[in-house]
């Protein structure tokens, strides 16, 4: 929210988003294990943690807000899509010494759009921001490894419009069944 405020669209996010104030917990009923019962309800974020509320708004909508800011900027920025990063290289002569930082990064991209499919573009920049996910090409190119734990569990994410009588459908809810696994419900806007 702080970043959205800096870009001038936090009010739009606040109006459209689902505000997450509480989290509920559900577990198997001790008497009838095939049923679940609420076992807890807590405040989602502690008081004073941030001056901004905890909200959820779908990524595509946030992307639209950023595009709007970009297109209205003095430079009239417009992103280039349909490209895949092949590799990047940091100029080694700019990364030595006590005050060293990359002064030039070269990225090679393959065009994926039908009119230019297979064409290679080379971009030289001062910075590259890697937001390319778990199998990050950026991370591999700069020789970094993923640190931390990774779980070997099957899981999935779904956006659904549920028709349900579940009483906590508009709360973030952690639900554990006796024999059919667990799920996390995160409500969305609308």
Structure tokens at 31: 């008497």
Q: How far apart are CA 188 and CA 161, in angstroms?
A: 10
For residues 20-31, give the mean pLDDT. 96
Mean pLDDT of 167-173: 94
- Is pTM, for the whole model, over 0.85? no
- Please report the pLDDT score of residue 53 as a whole number: 87
The Cβ of residue 57 has, within 10 Å, a number of other Cβ atoms equal to 19
Closest listed residue to residue 180, CA positions, set 26, 42, 40: 26
In this prediction, residue 25 carries a pLDDT of 98
Residue 70's H or E segment, with its range, is: helix 59-72
Average pLDDT over residues 157-177: 93
Q: Is 76 or 45 the better-scoring residue by pLDDT?
A: 76
- Among residues 68, 51, 67, 69, the alpha carbon closest in space to that of 14 is found at 51
Is 57 in contact with 13 (CB distance < 8 Å)? yes
Q: What is the 3-state secondary structure (H, E, C) of 139-185?
A: HHHCCCCCCCCCCCCCCCCCCCCCCCCCCCCCCEEEEECCCCCEEEE
Nearest by Cα to 95 from 104, 84, 83: 104
pLDDT at 27: 98
For 103-153, write each residue's pLDDT tens digit: 789 999 999 999 999 999 999 998 888 888 777 898 899 888 877 776 677
Judge whether 133 and 108 are in contact, CB under 8 Å.
no
| Average pLDDT of every residue of the chain | 89
Tell me: pLDDT of 101 over 80.
Answer: no
Q: What is d(CA 9, CA 147) in angstroms, rounded to the nearest whole number?
A: 34
Q: Which of 134, 12, 125 is nearest to 68 (CA)?
A: 12
- What pLDDT sits at residue 126? 85
pLDDT of 96 over the 90 cut: no
């Amino acid at each position: 929210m702080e970043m959205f405020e800096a870009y001038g669209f936090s009010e739009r996010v606040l109006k459209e988003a689902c505000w997450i104030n509480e989290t509920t917990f559900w577990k198997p009923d001790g008497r009838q294990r095939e049923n679940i019962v609420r076992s807890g309800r807590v405040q989602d974020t502690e008081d004073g943690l941030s001056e901004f509320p905890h909200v959820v708004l779908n990524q595509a909508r946030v992307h639209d807000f950023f595009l709007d800011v970009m297109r209205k900027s003095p430079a009239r920025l417009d992103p280039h899509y349909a490209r895949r990063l092949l590799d990047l290289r940091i100029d080694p002569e700019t990364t030595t010494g006590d005050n060293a930082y990359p002064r030039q990064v070269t990225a090679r991209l393959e065009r994926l759009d039908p009119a230019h499919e297979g064409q290679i573009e080379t971009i030289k920049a001062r910075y590259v921001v890697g937001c390319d996910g778990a199998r990050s090409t950026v991370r591999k190119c700069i020789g970094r490894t993923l640190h931390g734990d990774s779980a070997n569990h099957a899981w999935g994410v779904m956006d659904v419009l549920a028709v349900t009588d579940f009483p906590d459908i508009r709360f973030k809810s952690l639900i554990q069944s006796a024999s059919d696994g667990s799920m996390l419900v995160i409500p969305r806007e609308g």
